[in-house]
Amino acid sequence: MATARKRPRPDMEDSQAECPFTVIHPDPNEKEKKAKRRRQESEDQALPKVLLQASPFSPMGKFKDVHNTMDRHYQVQPYKRWTDMTRYNSFVLNGVKYWSEGFIFVANNSTIERQKNPGEALQPRKKSDDDWVARILEIRASDEHHVYARVYWMYWPDELPAGTQDGKRFVQGRQPYHGANELIASNHMDVINVVSVTAAATVNQWDETNEDEVQPALYWRQAFDVRSMELSSAEPRCKCNRPENPDKKLIGCTNEDCRKWLHDDCLIHEALLNTYKRLGTDKPHKPTPMKEEEEGEGAQRPLSPSESGAAQTAEQSIDVKPEEQQTIKLADVENALPSVKAEDTTVSVATTTNNSAKPKARGRPRKSEPADAAANAKPYEGLFEAVVRDELSPPVLEITDLRENIAGGEKSWTEPLRCLLCGQAIH
């Protein structure tokens, strides 16, 4: 069973949203279950069926098991009470219609606490403190006072449990590539009382291979299989082979033999490492070498000596992926309902005033930690800082010297951007 582990129901006195149902995930091939089935059949009792829920999520990335579909066998208990209820295509709560297969916001303990104390000063909130998000799989009701939804939970990245496998690493919580409005699809199933629903949600799947796609609302790209505690892969970018954070800037190399997207953080890190190696803690930056290079023809040649008569390297350019096109904004979801086919059967819900709402690791894992730490070391911190000036043409790196008591030299200068993979500079 993996039902209430990540989504514990609030205490009854807090939520008033009673739900008597639980979901279990038996193995339909168990011999013991077959024997139990024979006994039940002989006693003419209702036969609890083990059903298969086909996953509504198809992530672009892969799991280690390439045949993993995230489909799950399940039973809702108590079985007879659940199956005796009428199945509906939609329900109406507080004048808003919610459809099966649609996304919803669901109140959690933090939501209830905020509703109880509306006058208190608001504390800083994390995404995991916001309403939970779920996708409705099935709606059943015995009457307008007892309406329930079987759901798959969407995870905020902050909720990823310890031991989650992300590629070759084991992680917990939000990762650097997760955006502010990013969710993670899962096959974590539960049954909820629909009076806990606070609003309809708009959640889109983000196709990372479409570089021009912009999401106007909440989005997901990865899926989390609660059985194996594994995340599906995300599209690697840059020299670091880490995924893109859509809230941050990417810079694209247009060298036809490269065409890779680079994290601006990685470009800055590389430039500052080189600056630190060149100047250390006490050497001033002197612009003379840069001026000589600009005035001479050598500026158009590779830094290494070229052979006599060798062809000159062609000038390269780089495209900047605009930050505003990558920023994911939270859409107004109060009135946005999922796009579904119209259905005829709807149940109205009776409510009361009390309702609430990386470098590749080799060998044993412990031996990879020092290598990772060395790769991410920032000896330049407090000594130099840099920004990518992509509004200039061509874009450049602007480096600032923060060191004190350094005689001579410049305190701020610019350097050309170089692709971290092919080494081509921006001209």
Greatest CA separation for the chain: 97
Rounded Cα gap, residues 296 and 301, in angstroms: 10
Q: How many helices (DSSP H) and strands (DSSP E) are in the chain?
A: 8, 26
Please return the burial class of 96, using the count of CB atoms within 10 Å of its CB with bins 0-12, 13-18 and 19+: middle
Query: Would you say residue 186 has pLDDT above 90?
Result: yes
Rounded Cα gap, residues 127 and 233, in angstroms: 22
pLDDT at 86: 95
Which are the contacts of 262, defined by CB distance < 8 A and separation ≥ 6?
237, 238, 239, 250, 251, 252, 253, 419, 420, 421
Q: Does residue 164 or residue 125 have the better pLDDT?
A: 164
Query: Would you say residue 230 has pLDDT above 90?
Result: yes
Rounded Cα gap, residues 60 and 171, in angstroms: 21
Separation in Å, CA 424 to CA 55, 418, 427: 45, 5, 9
On average, the pLDDT of the chain sits at 74
Q: What is the mean pLDDT of residues 300-317?
A: 43
Query: Would you say residue 328 has pLDDT above 60?
Result: no
pLDDT at 152: 96
Which are the contacts of 308, defined by CB distance < 8 A and separation ≥ 6?
none
Pairing, β 218-225 against β 203-205: parallel
Rounded Cα gap, residues 29 and 58, in angstroms: 26
Query: Would you say residue 58 has pLDDT above 70?
Result: yes
pLDDT at 245: 85
Separation in Å, CA 55 to CA 29, 153, 305, 324, 360: 20, 12, 59, 33, 32
Per-residue pLDDT reduced to its tens digit, 34-54: 555 565 555 555 578 899 999
What percentage of the chain has pLDDT greater than the value 70? 65
Sole residue written with tokens 């650097």:
176
Q: What is the mean pLDDT of residues 156-166?
A: 92
Going by C-alpha positions, the residue among 157, 130, 131, 369 that lies closest to residue 245 is: 157
Rounded Cα gap, residues 58 and 63, in angstroms: 11
Q: What is the mean pLDDT of residues 296-320?
A: 43
Q: Does residue 297 or residue 415 have the better pLDDT?
A: 415
pLDDT at 139: 96
135, 55 Cβ separation under 8 angstroms = no
Whether a cis peptide bond, with omega within 30° of 0, leads into 78 is yes
Per-residue pLDDT reduced to its tens digit, 353-379: 544 443 333 333 443 344 455 667 889
Query: Would you say residue 117 has pLDDT above 60?
Result: no
Query: Would you say residue 295 has pLDDT above 90?
Result: no
pLDDT at 351: 62
| Beta strand residue intervals within 44-85, DSSP E | 51-53, 72-77
Strand partners of residue 98: 91
Q: Does residue 88 or residue 334 have the better pLDDT?
A: 88
Query: Would you say residue 8 has pLDDT above 60?
Result: no
Separation in Å, CA 384 to CA 272, 377, 388, 397: 7, 14, 14, 12
pLDDT at 11: 42
How are the residues of the chain apportioned to helix, strand and coil, as percentages rounded to the nearest 5? 20, 30, 50
pLDDT at 426: 57
pLDDT at 270: 87
Question: What is the SS3 assignment for 315?
Answer: coil
Separation in Å, CA 407 to CA 139, 278, 411: 74, 16, 10
Identify the band that residue 5 occupies on the pLDDT scale cut at 50, 70 and 90: very low
Identify the band that residue 291 occupies on the pLDDT scale cut at 50, 70 and 90: very low
pLDDT at 45: 58
Most confident listed range (107-111, 114-118, 189-193, 305-309): 189-193
Rounded Cα gap, residues 85 and 9, in angstroms: 22
Most confident listed range (101-105, 124-128, 325-329, 412-416): 101-105
In what helix (H) or strand (E) does residue 142 lie, and over which residues does it extend? strand 132-143
Joined tokens for residue 401: 């010297």
Q: What is the mean pLDDT of residues 19-24?
A: 94
pLDDT at 71: 93
Per-residue pLDDT reduced to its tens digit, 198-224: 999 999 998 877 666 666 689 999 999
Most confident listed range (90-94, 207-211, 324-328): 90-94
